[in-house]
Amino acid sequence: MQRHQLLSYLAVKQLIRLFYGITLFLSFACDYNPSGSHYEEISPSTEVTAEITLNQYQDTIRVRGNVMLNFQVSLPGRIVHGYQLKFNNTILSQGSAFSGSHFFETKSYRDGFYTMQLSAIGNSGTGSLADKHGAESIEVYRTWVVQVDNTLPQPVNITSIKPENGQLRIEWQKYKGTGFERYLIIRQSGNGFYSEYSGTITDPDKTF
């Protein structure tokens, strides 16, 4: 009887030792510290190439009457999500295309200087998850100074009339207003009873 109890005691003791050994092994097995980087860092600064054109205008636009504004946005390697055309901080046109046109009525505004801005939104192109799911974007824009001038043109002053090689050479001041189309040369009789058309010049820089 005592021998049986002794064997039982030894068996229980071995089970306890085995239990502690398994517990200690599991403790070491679960204690794991990963090393190194398991993600790819993407630089937030990306090079953006864009081209924005508006009627081939330069930085200053002089307009009068009604003008058709044709514009185009190019973002190579990116998708254009939308554009906005603003005049004096008021939206004239907006949409999702990369090109379009707008009929601009300048007579709705007083003569003076204004600002026109054409902006576009496209994907960022960083390659991040946000970029791939459309949650990350960039905005590019271009700004022009616009001079609205609907004042009626004033006749230019003739500065000189003199004979030259058997003809009369007429010189006048250069027209400095906006919306130039042509100079009309009209000969008028001495008593003012009739006028006779003499010629047309379409070059604004020509003054004779």
Contacting residues for 83 by C-beta, under 8 A, at least 6 apart = 71, 73, 94, 95, 96, 97, 98, 100, 118, 119, 120, 121
pLDDT band at 3 (very low <50, low <70, confident <90, very high): very low
Residues linked to residue 168 through DSSP beta bridges, in sequence order: 163
Residues linked to residue 84 through DSSP beta bridges, in sequence order: 94, 119
pLDDT value of position 33: 55
To the question of pTM greater than 0.85 for the whole model, the response is no
14-73 pLDDT, tens digit per residue, is 545 544 554 444 444 444 455 554 444 545 556 667 788 888 777 888 888 899 999 988
The structural domains of the chain, ordered by start, are: 51-148 (2.60.40.10), 158-201 (no CATH)
